[in-house]
A and B are shown apart, each in its own frame.
Chain A
Amino acid sequence: AQSVTQLGSHVSVSEGALVLLRCNYSSSVPPYLFWYVQYPNQGLQLLLKYTSAATLVKGINGFEAEFKKSETSFHLTKPSAHMSDAAEYFCAVSDLGSNYQLIWGAGTKLIIKP
């Protein structure tokens, strides 16, 4: 069965530091991969998605993610964290095995230290 693992329920970085949020998935067929962000008291918003084109995907707000098939990973990065990046981030996968329904990770709360 498809699954998504996000390492670390909380990640804390200093303002200006590199942000790295980890996502690993299990899928036996080429997947579609998504990162969504949830700001406090709001709904989820798409950051970026991988749909089998370029393996390095650029999203909104300076975020990007790289699809690595050999590692079954889709980690989210941002070179320099801003206070406004404090939010919860969700990785999701869909493929034929899930009948193309999104399978969600548990989420990682990003904390930015001043």
Chain B
Amino acid sequence: DSGVTQTPKHLITATGQRVTLRCSPRSGDLSVYWYQQSLDQGLQFLIQYYNGEERAKGNILERFSAQQFPDLHSELNLSSLELGDSALYFCASSGGLAGASSETQYFGPGTRLLVL
């Protein structure tokens, strides 16, 4: 158990819909990362938040957005969903020293999203 929790575990929805994925980081971790894992694209970094502020952006679509709240939990919002958005979405957290390049990221169990 990494200490990172994600809800829900599974989500089935239709094209055009909007969903919110939730992540609670390990106790004391300030950084939260979001990743998308799909069969064709592999593991893709989406976005990082550090202590409530966006720190780095990866291959995140404009239809996707995220935020980190004062209690450090984070939400990833996916809108206007397409079939290709079906994937496993992971959240990870780290101790969060900004720019600490050798930090270990601790991954949650993921949310499996299926868009029909």
List residues of A whose CB falls within 8 A of some B CB. 32, 34, 36, 41-46, 49, 51, 90, 94-96, 99-102, 104, 106-107
Total interface residues on B, CB under 8 Å, equals 22
The answer to whether B43 touches A101 (Cβ under 8 A) is no
Known: A44-B107, A46-B104. 20 other contacts (CB 8 A): A34-B104, A42-B109, A42-B110, A43-B4, A43-B90, A43-B109, A43-B110, A44-B90, A44-B105, A46-B105, A46-B106, A95-B101, A99-B56, A100-B99, A101-B45, A101-B58, A102-B45, A104-B44, A104-B45, A107-B42
* Interface assignment of B65: CB less than 8 Å from any CB of chain A: no
**Smallest distance from the beta carbon of B24 to chain A beta carbons, Å?**
13
Residues of B within 8 A of A36 (CB): 107
List residues of B whose CB falls within 8 A of some A CB. 2, 4, 42-45, 48, 56, 58, 90, 92, 99-102, 104-110
Complex alpha-carbon distance, A32 and B42, angstroms: 21
Complex alpha-carbon distance, A36 and B74, angstroms: 23
Task: Identify 15 residue pairs between A and B in the complex whose beta-carbon atoms are under 8 Å apart, listed by A's number.
Answer: A32-B101, A36-B107, A43-B92, A43-B108, A43-B110, A44-B43, A44-B107, A94-B102, A95-B101, A96-B101, A100-B100, A101-B58, A104-B45, A106-B42, A107-B43
The answer to whether A104 touches B105 (Cβ under 8 A) is no
The answer to whether A32 touches B102 (Cβ under 8 A) is yes
The answer to whether A49 touches B102 (Cβ under 8 A) is yes
Residues of A within 8 A of B105 (CB): 44, 46, 102
Interface pairs A-B: 9 shortest CB-CB = A43-B107, A100-B101, A51-B102, A44-B107, A32-B102, A104-B43, A46-B104, A106-B42, A43-B109
Complex alpha-carbon distance, A102 and B92, angstroms: 12
The answer to whether A43 touches B43 (Cβ under 8 A) is no
Complex alpha-carbon distance, A90 and B35, angstroms: 14
**Smallest distance from the beta carbon of B102 to chain A beta carbons, Å?**
4
